[in-house]
Chain A
Amino acid sequence: MINKLVIANLKHRWIRTILSSLAVGVQVTMILTIVGLSYGMLDDIGQRSRGVGADILIRPPGSSIIGLSSANIPEKLLDFVRKLPHVAIATGTTVHPIGGPNSVTGIELESFSAMSGGFRYIEGGPFRQPDEVVIDQFWARQNKLKVGDYASFMDRKWRVCGIVEPGKLARMFLPIKLLQDLSANTGKLTMIYVKVDEHENLQTVIDGFKKELPGYQIYSLEEFVSLISVDNVPGVKPFIYVVIGISIFVGFLVVFNSMYTAVLERTREIGILKALGATPQMVLSVLLREAVVLALVGSVAGILLTYVARWAIMHYVPGSLTQTIVPNWWPIATGVSLMGALLGALYPGWKAARQDAIEALSYE
């Protein structure tokens, strides 16, 4: 019967119910989108690293796992690596940030193609002129670029000569020498990718690199990809916790406002329940259950909105952001919204439970 009253109350003020649920839903979407972006973008970096086809990565001393801008490896090291035993192919890259999460990557096309199996061109072909850039399909979609169009970055205009399938290292590619010169990193690399001749020689080669290249960070590709996680990237977890904290607060405010108004509006009804012999606990229970329903409906709406957010990201900024759906976070986000809602309903519920029946009955 209490549930019937709760549902009847929520249906009675359906616009407020929908708006309150949506507001709760937005905070759920906020959590799931932030977490989905964190996981998605890191996962995307991992997937694109795998797409290079390398077995080993060499990074400069002191660089962080997802740091992109440090080009501290002398290029002559690449020649040295190529001569080491069991090294089948080695290729170097230079990465230069161009604003936000975006960067352009310099590659030596021949060795990169040999290692990765080469680009699959959807449109156009490789760069032949010094003002040409190869971009992937996501970057092209995000910036509405076709072959022959011009893209602007690094204070220059670049003609798009080829659009490739995504999944190989980066979104935008330039010839490495050109990027090194333009970014004042002549003769320097950001990373060296190595493919070994036989997989069973992998550990031997890694051990050899560690001996020959002291201070450098040597990872097998699988190890590198496993390190690209929320746990290993500084700042991501605290950021998620901050978002959760904000969400609880927002949920608290939304439900507090909704329930406080509801209690004021329903003063007389609370008086009726009390006249009928309802205990303060029952009155509190009605309000808390309403908050729980708002939070649950809001959570479902929030989860559905996450799909909308992902669609929007994939539609408008697929080259900059990648969002994954994170079902394992659904219970957490729902729990967060429930906590915010219950906290928000506590004071209005307590106020309703303590209401004097006679005053409530005479409320106009």
Chain B
Amino acid sequence: MSETPKPLIEVTGLTKTYHMGEVEVRALRGVDLKVRKGEFIAICGPSGSGKSTLFYVLGGLASATTGSVLIDGHDLSNMSDGERTQIRRDLVGFVFQRYNLLPTLSAMDNISMAQFIAGKPQHTEGWFKRSLEMLGVGHRLGHKPRSLSGGEQQRIAIARAIVNQPALLLADEPTGNLDTENSEVVLKLLRDLNERLGQTILMITHNPEAAAFAHRIIHMRDGRIV
């Protein structure tokens, strides 16, 4: 009898409450979620549904109020800021809606910065070269973000996110700032990364067409998965 592999992400009873002055905002109200390695999951929901908060907690950018969050066996819920910084460095790659490239560095240096922060050698061959070819940005690496199109910037951001071969790629509205054509390119790239390199991806989106690229779609509303 084969043993079921442990999920890459295992979230149990996750709550997150913000305090804005005297107002208490319950952004997550008991989220349970399991994601297997190699899955491509889309999390959909309207504004205020808690999907961005879930993104931040899973990425170690915010702490949980209650509940447990296990990523690749590491429990984020009891971690200090420093420990969560280490999780971001070692296990998670981020792709943001606004690309978030460092404007003063070239595309290549943006990617190298992620390698440097992770303390990994700045290799340009093998897997790295293949992924760049897949992303189709190999010829644009010397350019600064301001001379790249939105689609190119997002592809560089994806390259930066996967350069350290993270266990989890988190994408927050990756096509939110792109036109239809570039959106499709980026979504296909994410699917290729998932299918060809086995990259686990969790994508936040409110766009059903984008969500359709994922294996599984999870809907959120009022801080819960519905």
Contacts and interface: CB of A to CB of B under 8 A. Distances in A.
A5 B59 contact: no
Contact of B102 (A5, A274, A358): A5
Contacts of A358: 56, 61-62
8 contacts: A5-B105, A5-B113, A273-B113, A274-B88, A277-B85, A279-B85, A357-B61, A358-B56
Contacts of B85: 274, 277-279
Contacts of B101: 272
B89 A277 contact: yes
A282 B117 contact: yes
Contacts of B61: 274-275, 357-358, 361
Nearest to B118: A277
Contacts of B94: 275-276
Interface of B: 56, 59, 61-62, 82, 85-86, 88-90, 94, 96, 100-105, 109, 112-114, 116-118, 160
B104 A11 contact: yes
B104 A5 contact: yes
Given A275-B96, A277-B86, 7 more contacts: A1-B109, A5-B113, A273-B113, A278-B85, A358-B56, A361-B96, A361-B100
A9 interface: yes
A4 B105 contact: yes
Contacts of A278: 85, 117
A148 B15 CA distance: 96
Contact of B113 (A1, A12, A274): A1
Interface residues of A, number: 23
B114 A276 contact: yes
A114 interface: no
Contacts of B118: 277
Interface of A: 1-2, 4-5, 8-9, 11-12, 268-269, 271-279, 282, 357-358, 361
Contacts of A8: 104-105, 109
Contacts of A5: 102, 104-105, 109, 113
A342 B112 CA distance: 28
A289 to B, nearest CB: 14
A268 B86 CA distance: 20
A277 B90 contact: yes
A9 B105 CA distance: 8
Nearest to A279: B85
A271 B96 CA distance: 12
Nearest to A12: B104
Contacts of B86: 277
Contact of B88 (A11, A12, A275, A282): A275
B140 to A, nearest CB: 18
Contacts of A1: 109, 112-113, 116
Given A12-B103, A361-B96, A275 B59 contact: yes
B168 to A, nearest CB: 13
A9 B103 CA distance: 9
A2 B117 CA distance: 9
Contacts of B105: 4-5, 8
A323 to B, nearest CB: 40
Contacts of B113: 1, 5, 273, 276
